[in-house]
Protein backbone atom coordinates (compact mmCIF):
# COMPACT_ATOMS: atom_id res chain seq x y z
CA UNK A 1 0.00 0.00 0.00
CA UNK A 2 1.19 3.54 -0.73
CA UNK A 3 3.25 5.11 2.03
CA UNK A 4 2.13 8.48 3.42
CA UNK A 5 4.15 10.99 5.39
CA UNK A 6 2.11 13.49 7.42
CA UNK A 7 3.85 16.62 8.66
CA UNK A 8 2.00 18.71 11.25
CA UNK A 9 -0.20 17.01 13.84
CA UNK A 10 -2.06 19.89 15.43
CA UNK A 11 -5.79 20.31 16.11
CA UNK A 12 -6.79 19.15 12.63
CA UNK A 13 -3.74 17.29 11.37
CA UNK A 14 -3.88 14.73 14.16
CA UNK A 15 -7.42 13.67 13.24
CA UNK A 16 -6.64 13.62 9.53
CA UNK A 17 -3.55 11.45 9.95
CA UNK A 18 -5.59 9.17 12.21
CA UNK A 19 -8.14 8.57 9.46
CA UNK A 20 -5.37 7.52 7.08
CA UNK A 21 -4.04 5.08 9.66
CA UNK A 22 -7.52 3.68 10.19
CA UNK A 23 -7.83 3.19 6.42
CA UNK A 24 -4.75 0.97 6.50
CA UNK A 25 -2.16 3.32 5.04
CA UNK A 26 1.38 3.10 6.43
CA UNK A 27 1.89 6.58 7.90
CA UNK A 28 5.08 8.30 9.02
CA UNK A 29 4.65 11.46 11.08
CA UNK A 30 6.92 14.40 11.75
CA UNK A 31 6.19 17.45 13.84
CA UNK A 32 8.27 19.94 15.77
CA UNK A 33 7.02 18.62 19.12
CA UNK A 34 7.01 14.83 19.27
CA UNK A 35 4.58 14.75 22.20
CA UNK A 36 1.86 16.11 19.90
CA UNK A 37 2.17 12.94 17.82
CA UNK A 38 1.99 10.44 20.70
CA UNK A 39 -1.64 9.56 19.99
CA UNK A 40 -0.80 8.72 16.37
CA UNK A 41 2.28 6.73 17.37
CA UNK A 42 0.06 4.70 19.70
CA UNK A 43 -2.18 3.95 16.69
CA UNK A 44 0.76 2.58 14.71
CA UNK A 45 2.30 5.59 12.99
CA UNK A 46 6.07 5.64 12.56
CA UNK A 47 8.07 8.59 13.89
CA UNK A 48 10.80 10.34 11.88
CA UNK A 49 13.41 12.57 13.48
CA UNK A 50 14.08 14.71 10.40
CA UNK A 51 12.31 15.93 7.28
CA UNK A 52 14.72 13.97 5.10
CA UNK A 53 14.00 10.73 6.96
CA UNK A 54 10.27 11.42 6.95
CA UNK A 55 9.89 11.90 3.19
CA UNK A 56 12.60 9.78 1.57
CA UNK A 57 10.35 6.73 0.99
CA UNK A 58 6.95 8.43 0.88
CA UNK A 59 4.61 8.14 -2.09
CA UNK A 60 2.54 11.02 -0.70
CA UNK A 61 3.73 13.82 1.56
CA UNK A 62 0.99 15.81 3.30
CA UNK A 63 1.69 19.00 5.22
CA UNK A 64 -0.68 20.74 7.63
CA UNK A 65 1.28 23.44 9.43
CA UNK A 66 0.72 26.97 10.66
CA UNK A 67 1.97 29.73 8.41
CA UNK A 68 3.19 30.37 4.85
CA UNK A 69 6.73 30.85 6.12
CA UNK A 70 6.56 27.34 7.63
CA UNK A 71 5.36 25.96 4.29
CA UNK A 72 8.12 27.76 2.38
CA UNK A 73 10.81 26.45 4.72
CA UNK A 74 9.44 22.89 4.63
CA UNK A 75 9.22 22.68 0.87
CA UNK A 76 11.88 24.99 -0.51
CA UNK A 77 14.61 24.81 2.15
CA UNK A 78 17.94 23.21 1.17
CA UNK A 79 17.11 20.07 3.15
CA UNK A 80 13.37 20.37 2.66
CA UNK A 81 10.69 18.20 1.14
CA UNK A 82 11.37 18.94 -2.53
CA UNK A 83 15.10 18.35 -2.09
CA UNK A 84 14.56 15.10 -0.18
CA UNK A 85 11.47 13.38 -1.65
CA UNK A 86 11.82 10.41 -3.97
CA UNK A 87 11.04 10.84 -7.70
CA UNK A 88 7.33 10.87 -8.65
CA UNK A 89 6.20 11.50 -5.09
CA UNK A 90 3.07 13.63 -4.75
CA UNK A 91 3.37 16.60 -2.38
CA UNK A 92 0.13 17.90 -0.87
CA UNK A 93 0.04 21.09 1.16
CA UNK A 94 -3.22 21.27 3.13
CA UNK A 95 -2.18 24.34 5.11
CA UNK A 96 -4.09 27.51 4.35
CA UNK A 97 -1.27 29.35 2.65
CA UNK A 98 -0.36 31.79 -0.10
CA UNK A 99 -1.57 31.08 -3.66
CA UNK A 100 1.62 32.54 -5.13
CA UNK A 101 3.74 30.31 -2.88
CA UNK A 102 1.78 27.28 -4.11
CA UNK A 103 2.72 28.18 -7.68
CA UNK A 104 6.39 28.42 -6.72
CA UNK A 105 6.26 25.06 -4.96
CA UNK A 106 4.59 23.39 -7.94
CA UNK A 107 7.24 24.76 -10.31
CA UNK A 108 10.11 23.68 -8.05
CA UNK A 109 8.58 20.23 -7.60
CA UNK A 110 8.25 19.63 -11.35
CA UNK A 111 11.92 20.45 -11.87
CA UNK A 112 12.74 17.49 -9.62
CA UNK A 113 10.23 15.09 -11.16
CA UNK A 114 7.66 15.56 -8.39
CA UNK A 115 4.05 16.69 -8.44
CA UNK A 116 2.50 19.18 -6.03
CA UNK A 117 -1.09 19.97 -5.06
CA UNK A 118 -2.37 22.78 -2.87
CA UNK A 119 -5.37 21.36 -1.02
CA UNK A 120 -6.55 23.54 1.89
CA UNK A 121 -9.64 22.44 3.79
CA UNK A 122 -12.70 23.85 5.49
CA UNK A 123 -14.77 22.31 8.25
CA UNK A 124 -12.69 22.98 11.34
CA UNK A 125 -11.93 20.50 14.08
CA UNK A 126 -15.38 18.91 13.73
CA UNK A 127 -14.88 18.25 10.01
CA UNK A 128 -11.41 16.85 10.66
CA UNK A 129 -12.66 14.49 13.38
CA UNK A 130 -15.62 13.30 11.31
CA UNK A 131 -13.77 13.14 7.97
CA UNK A 132 -16.32 15.53 6.45
CA UNK A 133 -13.95 18.29 5.35
CA UNK A 134 -14.37 20.29 2.18
CA UNK A 135 -11.10 19.95 0.26
CA UNK A 136 -10.24 22.60 -2.34
CA UNK A 137 -7.54 21.43 -4.72
CA UNK A 138 -5.19 23.21 -7.09
CA UNK A 139 -2.90 21.32 -9.46
CA UNK A 140 -2.98 19.01 -12.47
CA UNK A 141 -6.02 16.86 -13.12
CA UNK A 142 -3.86 13.75 -13.51
CA UNK A 143 -2.27 14.23 -10.09
CA UNK A 144 -5.64 15.06 -8.55
CA UNK A 145 -7.11 11.81 -9.88
CA UNK A 146 -4.20 9.82 -8.46
CA UNK A 147 -4.81 11.42 -5.06
CA UNK A 148 -8.60 11.47 -4.85
CA UNK A 149 -8.93 8.12 -3.05
CA UNK A 150 -6.72 9.47 -0.28
CA UNK A 151 -8.73 12.70 -0.06
CA UNK A 152 -11.91 10.64 0.28
CA UNK A 153 -10.61 9.32 3.61
CA UNK A 154 -10.48 12.89 4.90
CA UNK A 155 -13.45 14.74 3.46
CA UNK A 156 -16.79 14.65 1.69
CA UNK A 157 -16.58 17.56 -0.76
CA UNK A 158 -13.47 17.23 -2.91
CA UNK A 159 -13.18 19.57 -5.88
CA UNK A 160 -10.36 20.35 -8.31
CA UNK A 161 -10.53 24.12 -8.71
CA UNK A 162 -7.87 24.57 -11.40
CA UNK A 163 -4.09 24.80 -11.66
CA UNK A 164 -1.53 25.46 -8.91
CA UNK A 165 -2.72 28.10 -6.43
CA UNK A 166 -6.41 27.60 -7.24
CA UNK A 167 -7.03 25.62 -4.09
CA UNK A 168 -5.64 28.41 -1.93
CA UNK A 169 -7.58 31.08 -3.85
CA UNK A 170 -10.75 29.08 -3.19
CA UNK A 171 -9.90 28.83 0.50
CA UNK A 172 -9.49 32.60 0.56
CA UNK A 173 -13.05 32.91 -0.78
CA UNK A 174 -14.12 30.59 2.05
CA UNK A 175 -12.34 32.65 4.71
CA UNK A 176 -13.67 35.93 3.34
CA UNK A 177 -17.22 34.60 3.58
CA UNK A 178 -16.65 33.29 7.11
CA UNK A 179 -15.09 36.52 8.36
CA UNK A 180 -18.04 38.76 7.55
CA UNK A 181 -20.50 36.03 8.52
CA UNK A 182 -18.90 35.71 11.97
CA UNK A 183 -19.52 39.40 12.59
CA UNK A 184 -23.16 38.94 11.58
CA UNK A 185 -23.55 35.83 13.74
CA UNK A 186 -22.11 37.53 16.82
CA UNK A 187 -24.10 40.71 16.25
CA UNK A 188 -27.32 38.67 15.98
CA UNK A 189 -26.51 36.95 19.29
CA UNK A 190 -25.65 40.27 20.95
CA UNK A 191 -28.88 41.86 19.72
CA UNK A 192 -30.97 38.88 20.84
CA UNK A 193 -29.51 38.94 24.33
CA UNK A 194 -30.03 42.71 24.63
CA UNK A 195 -33.66 42.23 23.58
CA UNK A 196 -34.19 39.66 26.33
CA UNK A 197 -34.61 36.66 24.03
CA UNK A 198 -33.72 33.18 25.19
CA UNK A 199 -30.73 32.60 22.88
CA UNK A 200 -31.25 28.89 22.21
CA UNK A 201 -34.88 29.46 21.31
CA UNK A 202 -33.88 32.33 19.02
CA UNK A 203 -31.21 30.13 17.40
CA UNK A 204 -33.71 27.32 16.74
CA UNK A 205 -35.73 29.69 14.56
CA UNK A 206 -33.10 31.58 12.61
CA UNK A 207 -30.64 28.77 11.87
CA UNK A 208 -33.25 26.98 9.73
CA UNK A 209 -34.11 30.03 7.66
CA UNK A 210 -32.28 32.34 5.27
CA UNK A 211 -29.79 33.31 7.99
CA UNK A 212 -28.62 29.74 8.40
CA UNK A 213 -24.88 29.05 8.23
CA UNK A 214 -22.29 26.60 9.51
CA UNK A 215 -21.00 29.18 11.97
CA UNK A 216 -24.49 29.92 13.28
CA UNK A 217 -25.31 26.26 13.91
CA UNK A 218 -21.90 25.07 15.12
CA UNK A 219 -20.25 28.02 16.82
CA UNK A 220 -23.13 29.81 18.56
CA UNK A 221 -23.74 26.72 20.74
CA UNK A 222 -20.09 26.92 21.78
CA UNK A 223 -20.56 30.59 22.67
CA UNK A 224 -23.66 29.80 24.73
CA UNK A 225 -21.76 27.06 26.58
CA UNK A 226 -18.82 29.35 27.32
CA UNK A 227 -16.51 27.26 25.15
CA UNK A 228 -13.81 29.44 23.62
CA UNK A 229 -11.30 26.64 23.07
CA UNK A 230 -9.79 26.60 19.58
CA UNK A 231 -11.38 24.45 16.95
CA UNK A 232 -9.60 26.97 14.77
CA UNK A 233 -7.17 29.43 16.36
CA UNK A 234 -7.73 33.17 16.11
CA UNK A 235 -4.03 33.60 15.30
CA UNK A 236 -4.45 31.32 12.29
CA UNK A 237 -7.61 33.10 11.17
CA UNK A 238 -5.79 36.45 11.32
CA UNK A 239 -3.07 34.89 9.18
CA UNK A 240 -5.67 33.74 6.65
CA UNK A 241 -7.34 37.14 6.49
CA UNK A 242 -3.95 38.74 5.93
CA UNK A 243 -3.26 36.42 3.00
CA UNK A 244 -6.67 37.18 1.52
CA UNK A 245 -6.23 40.95 1.88
CA UNK A 246 -2.75 40.79 0.33
CA UNK A 247 -4.04 38.73 -2.60
CA UNK A 248 -6.97 41.14 -3.00
CA UNK A 249 -4.62 44.12 -3.15
CA UNK A 250 -2.58 42.36 -5.83
CA UNK A 251 -5.80 42.06 -7.87
CA UNK A 252 -6.80 45.68 -7.24
CA UNK A 253 -9.69 44.77 -4.92
CA UNK A 254 -10.95 46.46 -1.76
CA UNK A 255 -12.74 44.22 0.75
CA UNK A 256 -14.12 46.43 3.55
CA UNK A 257 -15.98 43.63 5.35
CA UNK A 258 -12.84 41.52 5.56
CA UNK A 259 -10.79 44.53 6.71
CA UNK A 260 -13.26 45.20 9.53
CA UNK A 261 -13.25 41.56 10.64
CA UNK A 262 -9.45 41.51 10.65
CA UNK A 263 -9.37 44.65 12.81
CA UNK A 264 -11.80 43.14 15.34
CA UNK A 265 -9.91 39.86 15.58
CA UNK A 266 -6.59 41.68 15.98
CA UNK A 267 -8.14 43.66 18.84
CA UNK A 268 -9.25 40.44 20.51
CA UNK A 269 -5.89 38.77 19.85
CA UNK A 270 -4.06 41.58 21.65
CA UNK A 271 -5.89 41.04 24.97
CA UNK A 272 -3.87 39.31 27.68
CA UNK A 273 -5.13 36.47 29.87
CA UNK A 274 -5.92 38.71 32.86
CA UNK A 275 -8.08 40.97 30.70
CA UNK A 276 -9.83 38.01 29.11
CA UNK A 277 -10.61 36.51 32.51
CA UNK A 278 -12.04 39.84 33.63
CA UNK A 279 -14.25 39.94 30.54
CA UNK A 280 -15.40 36.39 31.24
CA UNK A 281 -16.37 37.30 34.82
CA UNK A 282 -18.24 40.39 33.62
CA UNK A 283 -20.21 38.37 31.05
CA UNK A 284 -21.03 35.68 33.62
CA UNK A 285 -22.42 38.32 35.98
CA UNK A 286 -24.48 40.23 33.42
CA UNK A 287 -25.71 37.80 30.77
CA UNK A 288 -28.57 35.42 31.35
CA UNK A 289 -28.80 32.38 29.09
CA UNK A 290 -25.02 32.02 28.69
CA UNK A 291 -22.58 29.85 30.58
CA UNK A 292 -19.55 31.66 31.94
CA UNK A 293 -16.78 31.79 29.34
CA UNK A 294 -13.93 29.46 30.29
CA UNK A 295 -10.58 30.92 29.26
CA UNK A 296 -8.16 28.00 28.76
CA UNK A 297 -5.19 28.03 31.15
CA UNK A 298 -2.78 27.62 28.25
CA UNK A 299 -4.06 30.72 26.45
CA UNK A 300 -1.50 33.52 26.76
CA UNK A 301 -3.50 36.05 24.71
CA UNK A 302 -6.74 36.21 22.77
CA UNK A 303 -4.89 34.85 19.75
CA UNK A 304 -4.88 31.43 21.43
CA UNK A 305 -8.68 31.22 21.58
CA UNK A 306 -11.06 29.82 18.98
CA UNK A 307 -12.65 32.08 16.38
CA UNK A 308 -16.03 31.87 18.15
CA UNK A 309 -14.51 33.96 20.97
CA UNK A 310 -15.27 37.10 18.96
CA UNK A 311 -18.48 37.35 20.98
CA UNK A 312 -16.41 38.32 24.04
CA UNK A 313 -15.57 41.67 22.46
CA UNK A 314 -19.21 42.42 21.71
CA UNK A 315 -20.65 41.40 25.06
CA UNK A 316 -17.94 43.33 26.90
CA UNK A 317 -18.77 46.42 24.77
CA UNK A 318 -15.20 46.63 23.48
CA UNK A 319 -16.14 47.19 19.83
Concerning whether 171 is annotated as a catalytic residue, the answer is yes
CA distance linking residue 188 with residue 183, whole number of Å: 9
Annotated active-site residue in 111, 148, 156, 171: 171
The residues annotated as belonging to the active site are 171
Amino acid sequence: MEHITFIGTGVMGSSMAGHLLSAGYPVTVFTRTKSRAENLLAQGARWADTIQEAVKDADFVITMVGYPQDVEELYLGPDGIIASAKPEAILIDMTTSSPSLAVRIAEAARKRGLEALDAPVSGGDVGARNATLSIMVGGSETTFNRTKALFEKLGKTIVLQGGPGSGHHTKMCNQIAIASNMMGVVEALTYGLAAGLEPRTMLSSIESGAAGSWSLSNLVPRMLNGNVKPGFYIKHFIKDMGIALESAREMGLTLPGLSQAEALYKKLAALDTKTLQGIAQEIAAQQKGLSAPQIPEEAQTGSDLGTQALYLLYLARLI
